[in-house]
Amino acid sequence: MRNYNKTLYSLMAILIVYTISFAIFIFYSVTNFAFSDFYKRLDLRRNLAAERFLNGDQAINDRSLNYVESLDNQQDYFIALDAQGRVVKNDGFDMNLWKQVDQEGPVNFKDKNTFFSTKKYQKEGSTYIIGVSAENYFYTHHLIYLRNLLFISLVLGVLFVVVVSLLVKRSFLKPINAIIQEVENIGSENLHLRLSETKDNGVLNKLSRTFNRMLRRIETSFETQKNFISNASHELNTPLTSIIGIADLALSKERTIEEYQKAMTKIIDAAENLEKKTSALLLLARTGYENNSLNFKPVRIDQIIMDADLTVKAINEHFRVKTDFTMLPDDSIRLKVNGSAALLQLAITNLISNACKYSPNHMAYVALGAVEGSVLIFIKDEGIGIPAQELDHIYDPYFRGSNTTNYSGYGIGLPLARNIVLMHDGQITVTSELGSGTTVRIEIPTLKMF
């Protein structure tokens, strides 16, 4: 902000200096032209005076210059000099101005509002200084008016520059101050808040979009961090308690080899369960912590869906996937996104696996399409659905619906998929009807080609 004010004030100073310089240039140019033009008119009348003094009025009458009008307060001067250059005759010239007269050639000079033109003449061995003086009406009236006009214009111009600059500053700083206010209202307790965005491509709107994307990543990481300890303690407590209980029971008294083997088998099962939950928990945390965007590159969503299809079938041979590619765009470039193929495949594989797992026929329906600027993925099943009152909790790690008690799982797939989609600046929407199935809609921005 300080740099912006410095730049604004510098521009204001430059405009003001330019305006003052321009006014001075105009006044100087007009004044110089007025002086030069008036001196030329004085020179003409000086030559006429010389003709009259040296040759008599008859010489002037024979010329058209005789009709030149007199100037304001015009006076003619005739000064005769002796051989030593001393004044022997002075006809009306103020000798206080004698130092300004060039006794060897023509000269123009000004005394207050009176302008003079003098020149040395030789005739019949005698030397004369002949001159003419007059008041410059343009100088005494018009230039004063021009000076006052330029001064008033200069003051108004400076005021205009200052007012416009302050208005521009206010209009420019208003959206910035609005962004600052919105940012100050965002804290750890309300990371879901976002900066206001518009549809224009201005710099401030791009800044808001970039900041919102950063907030989305921070929110994901913060939520994961906030829930990590509580989730870990809750999910790891059950298998650990089971392992400790089985071991204590086995060691409470002497037992047969078969009983020890059964106890060790139960401990191994509980340990495997613990290992799976630990891996799932760390995977969920890693997607929230790591800045995977550093490794993002162009990937094709259709290829990721086909790879996910093969992965799902490899996980469970009873799972079936029906893929619909009828909505594919003609240009395959529109299917490319900037992202991580491994993470995207992990997210889609989890969603398809859930769709197959919760459907009686183990069938998942996947559709792929594209709209302006985005790739759309639909994953649908005809399974048990999600109770309406529980839809708000589906992204909570380890949350499982009340109607999923007969299905295995850890409640990690949907939160994991959501984290990955958010990392790719995408959106995920889940709609469900109890007993009729669930539909997951994913929208990810396509790769921008420059």
Q: Identify whether the C-beta of residue 365 lies closer than 8 Å to the C-beta of residue 379.
A: yes
Give the whole-number percent of the chain exceeding pLDDT 90: 7
Tell me: the pLDDT tens digits for 261-315?
A: 888 888 888 787 677 667 656 655 565 544 444 568 889 999 999 988 888 887 7
The encoded tokens of residue 446 equal: 């396509």
- 30, 146 in Cβ contact below 8 A? yes
Judged by average pLDDT, the poorest of 2-6, 73-77, 184-188 is: 2-6
Asked if the model's pLDDT at residue 378 lies above 90, the reply is yes
Q: Which residues contact 185 (CB under 8 A, 6 or more apart)?
A: 193
- Average pLDDT of the segment spanning 400-412: 71
What is the model's pLDDT at position 116?
A: 92
Q: How far apart are CA 248 and CA 268, in angstroms?
A: 15
Query: Residue 118 is which amino acid?
Result: T
Please give the pLDDT value at position 330. Answer: 79
Neighbour tally for 392: CB within 10 Å: 9
**Measured distance CA(143)–CA(113) in Å, rounded:** 12
Select the highest-mean-pLDDT range: 21-35, 101-115, 124-138, 427-441: 427-441
Mean pLDDT of 220-238: 61
Under 8 Å between Cβ of 57 and 49? no
27-36, 367-376, 405-414, 418-427: which range is least confident on average?
405-414
- pLDDT, residue 210, reads 83
Query: HSE of 413 in the Cβ direction (CA atoms, 13 Å)?
Result: 18
Nearest-angstrom CA–CA distance, 306 and 447:
20
Instruction: Please report the pLDDT score of residue 443 as a whole number.
Output: 93
Assigned token pair, 350: 């989890």
Residue 439 pLDDT level (bands cut at 50, 70, 90): very high
State residue 56's pLDDT score.
67
pLDDT band per the 50, 70, 90 thresholds, residue 221? low
Fold of 2-141: Beta-Lactamase (3.30.450)
If phi over 0 gives left and psi between -120 and 50 gives alpha, with beta otherwise, what is residue 192? alpha
Whole-angstrom distance, CA of residue 143 vs CA of residue 332: 75
Cβ-contact 30, 143 below 8 angstroms: yes
Alpha-carbon distance 419 to 283, whole Å? 11
Residue 366's pLDDT band (cuts 50, 70, 90): very high
Residue 357 has pLDDT above 70, yes or no: yes
- Around Cβ 369, how many Cβ atoms within 10 Å? 18
**Position 233 confidence tier, pLDDT thresholds 50, 70, 90:** low
Indicate the residue type of 270.
Answer: A
pLDDT the model gives residue 371: 87
Does residue 25 have a pLDDT over 80?
Answer: yes
CA gap 52, 68 in Å, rounded:
14
pLDDT at 292: 47
What is the C-alpha to C-alpha distance for residues 76 and 53, in angstroms, rounded to an integer? Answer: 10
| C-beta atoms surrounding 206 within 10 Å | 12
CATH code for the part of the protein at 293-450: 3.30.565.10
What share of the chain in percent tops pLDDT 70?
A: 84
Return mean pLDDT, the chain.
80
pLDDT tens-digit series, residues 153-168: 888 888 888 888 778 7
Q: What is the mean pLDDT of residues 389-398?
A: 76
What is the reported pLDDT for 99? 86
Predicted confidence (pLDDT) per residue in 61-113, tens digit: 444 445 567 788 888 888 888 877 788 888 888 888 888 888 788 888 888 88
Q: Which residues contact 350 (CB under 8 A, 6 or more apart)?
A: 413, 414, 416, 417
* Contact by Cβ (8 Å): 357, 407: yes
More confident residue, 134 or 32: 134
pLDDT at 397: 65
Residue 343 near residue 292 (C-beta atoms within 8 A): yes
Q: Pick from 55-59, 171-175, 319-323 the range whose average pLDDT is largest.
A: 319-323
| The pLDDT value given to residue 224 | 57
Domains of the chain by residue range: 2-141, 186-290, 293-450
* Stated pTM of the model: 0.46
pLDDT for 62: 45
Q: Are 410 and 398 in contact (CB under 8 A)?
A: yes
Check residue 289 and give its pLDDT. 47
